[in-house]
Amino acid sequence: MAMTNVLTGKYRTTGTTPLDLSSCSKGDILKYFEASYDLNESLFVGLKDEDAFYKCPDRLRLPLIFYYAHTATVYVNKLMLAGLMTERVNLDFETMFELGVDEMSWDDTENYRMGGRFQWPPLAEAVEFRRLVRNRIRQLIEDTPLQLPITQDNPWWAVMMGVEHEKIHIETSSVLIRQMPITMVTTPPKWKYAPASTGTAIQENPLVQVEGGEVTFGKPEDFPSYGWCMEYGQQTFKVPTFEASKFKVTNREFLQFVKAGGYENSSYWTKEGWNWQCFRQMRHPIFWVCTKGCKSSCGAVLSSYSHCLPEHFSTTYTDPEIRQHLENNNGPQNGDLNGNGCEHDFRLRVIFDVMEMPWDWPVVVNYHEARAFCAWKGPEFRMLTEAEFNMIQGGALGDPSKGVTSDPVFHKDPQANFRLTFGSSSPVDLYRPNDLGFHDVFGNVWEWVEDHFNCLPGYRQHHLYDDYAFPFCDGRHGLMLGGSWASNGTYNSRFSRSFFRRHFYQHAGFRVARTLPGAGKSPVVMVNTDVYILGAGVEEKDLTVPETVGLEVVPMASTNRQFHQETEEALAAMLALQYGDGGQNYSKALADFCVEKANHYGCPLQKIVQLGCGTGGVTYQLAKTYKEVIGLDYCGQFLEAAIALQKTGEFHLSKPGVTDSETEKKSMTDDIITVSIPADVQRDKLTFKQMTWVPNEIPKSDLVLLDFLDRVNNPKAWWLRLWEIVTENGIVMVISQKIGKEELSSDLNNKLDLLEELELQFKDGQGQTKVTMATIWKLRM
């Protein structure tokens, strides 16, 4: 029975065209918001009962109850930051449902919120939370004066951010529901899958030649539709003549790779890809269904579940739950309940059903599988690059300066399978080719490309969602382009760039490409910045490509400047500042200053949070006075040193440029940096956290010390929530050499009163005297 009780509005099964933000009305925005909110909830109608909401369809993702409530939480959090909403709906929920998970690797330990130990709220409370948020936003849209155009500096941008974020999660949730056991879902009313074929089986996938030339891509700042930060900026490349497949690789094509033993042959796989394959032991793409009991990706209590059961092929369907499901949902698609007409060894799991394999649909795989297929096909084959993908879009794209008509996502009849025209992929020849002869350059399934994900030159991070993209410009995330059948709103825009880890599954496939002999090499972007992972160190990267594939690696530094601080040189400098000859003076002087001002203004000395704790020098000094101390930073190397000091009281670092072998041979103290914390510090008072923004889980504190604005990507993003994390009797202290009351006042004056501004002098790690500004604020009563 469908879970219609999860709806707080209307049931719907199709997406919407995005808004022209230069001319939309309040009525347009309200309809756009309602449609997105409705569609997201409507997906969850397909869960069979409440119990399904608390199951983990993916071992490295949270239960579905999180994703049901998460998007409402993001609306509230962003509207609060923008000042359009002044009171929270439910802070407990807006904390619990704020932070998802982004696993470092396929073999990560399951998050503690995935099992039975974490107590999620009853579904009825989550539904009521969504209802309250919906009503609050309806009122906000009605009451707030609309200023056109809606640009990135306009408060209404936060409304559009919430809507477009929800549209992204419609797709994310559809992938997760597709991974659920078939007995836990039911096909919702009016859900329409695409036809299996257009009538003629696609036996060939010819290569189409594209003449070389210069290509520029990136979204103009003034384009009148919503955009995510990584879409902006501009990149230009010269691309030699190349060939790419007319269609995306189909299930039929990929079957040959499976039958040829492609999943068992390590020579086809990258090192990273083969490590993943050895862990997962895949025999075929994740949504293919066979009879061999293959390991699923489900987590927690579903970890032993397999989608690959003989019951899906049996003439008797001995499993009563599966038989009942198939009877309720009209049996195996394109066949009868006993499986007559199924001539192959595989079926396909779509979001709510298992159907006979639609061989002309594009195959859904991750990056590793796509790369392996290309290597199997021949040494010269590969996927497209981002530059090449932008070239195969063809002449149908207009000049972006002409407005929204240049983006197919705004066309009334785009001739593409996106915004849930169908509730599934579709035959790769269902829609006519573009002027260059390529099918499905928009929609159906995303296309993996060869490039690492990185933001484009000239982009700027938006202060309302500072952690949206830049934490993932690490060389470990792949890039997908073009959108899928489940993409709607601007997520299917010509400018859309999506990023996921290379082992991640989305509704994504690929097409093959090759560079013509003698044409030169096509540029492929790879991030060459070493990224330090807390607790794991620097992960090895492979910045090479096979010589035979005709690609030239363009090494680029991560556009996340914060990653550039993850070096031993930066760590040594921070240790010298906070613990060195002049450093003890710095840490103690700043801590003493904080305590002095707290006493002066009559603040309790109970709890403090330091945003920008570095290696913990100031934090440990403050722990002498405060009963609970939280140190927060984004830098993994800094935090690792702080945590090591908490465990043992000392931290040792070989001086940069001195190898471990040299240190062992010399055993000289001048080759090792050694720091320690005061003996009288109670280490159990301290908690260190790695964060790339200020989440709701940071508790209200009597002193909030913000002192790393001079080294973060987007300072404004760090001061917007200060008023929410300080107690009524507490103070906020901002320390910066570059930012003073003039820059802070436009945002902080809405909620905080400036108590004083003064200059501080301190000595840096080299003993040089520095001058910094300190502004002290108190919550306005």
Q: What is the pLDDT of residues 20-78, one digit of tens each?
A: 999 999 999 999 999 999 999 999 999 999 999 999 999 888 999 999 999 999 999 99
Q: Would strands 551-556 and 522-527 be described as parallel, antiparallel, or unpaired?
A: parallel
Distance of alpha carbon 45 from alpha carbon 493, whole angstroms: 27
Angle at 83 between CA 80 and CA 88, to 5 degrees: 30
Count Cβ atoms within 10 A of the Cβ of residue 72 and give its class: 0-12 exposed, 13-18 middle, 19 or more buried.
Answer: buried
Rg (CA), the chain: 28
Element holding 253 (H helix, E strand): helix 251-259
Asked whether residue 321 carries a pLDDT value surpassing 60, the answer given is: no
Distance of alpha carbon 475 from alpha carbon 454, whole angstroms: 8
Asked if residue 765 lies in contact with residue 583, where contact means CB atoms within 8 angstroms, the answer is yes
- The full DSSP string for 9-58 is S-------PPP-TTT--HHHHHHHHHHHHHHHHHHGGGBSSGGGGGSBSS
How do residues 728-773 score in pLDDT, each as one tens digit?
A: 999 999 999 999 999 999 999 989 999 999 998 887 767 778 889 9
One-letter identity of residue 780 = R
**Packing angle between helix 367-377 and helix 271-280, nearest 10 degrees?**
110
Confidence label for 334 from pLDDT (cuts 50, 70 and 90): very low
Asked whether residue 111 carries a pLDDT value surpassing 60, the answer given is: no
Average predicted confidence (pLDDT) for the chain: 90
Q: Which among 589, 600, 574, 629 has a CA at the least distance from the CA of 735?
A: 589
In the three-class reduction of DSSP (H, G, I as helix; E, B as strand; rest coil), residue 170 is classed as helix
pTM of this structure: 0.92
Bridge partner residues of 759 (DSSP): 773
> Could you tell me the sign of the dihedral formed by the alpha carbons of 370, 376, 379, 380, in that order?
negative
Distance of alpha carbon 768 from alpha carbon 412, whole angstroms: 64
Mean pLDDT of 470-488: 94
One-letter identity of residue 509 = G
Residues 6+ apart with CB under 8 A from 92: none
Runs of H (alpha helix) within 336-448: 367-377, 386-392
Q: Return the pLDDT at 727.
A: 97
Locate 30 and state its tokens: 């309200």
Q: Return the pLDDT at 60.
A: 83
Asked if residue 740 lies in contact with residue 758, where contact means CB atoms within 8 angstroms, the answer is no
Asked if residue 514 lies in contact with residue 522, where contact means CB atoms within 8 angstroms, the answer is no
Distance of alpha carbon 95 from alpha carbon 701, whole angstroms: 16
Residues 6+ apart with CB under 8 A from 128: none
Asked whether residue 133 carries a pLDDT value surpassing 80, the answer given is: yes
Count Cβ atoms within 10 A of the Cβ of residue 195 and give its class: 0-12 exposed, 13-18 middle, 19 or more buried.
Answer: middle
Confidence label for 337 from pLDDT (cuts 50, 70 and 90): very low
DSSP state at residue 708? -
What is the length of the chain? 781
Confidence label for 538 from pLDDT (cuts 50, 70 and 90): confident
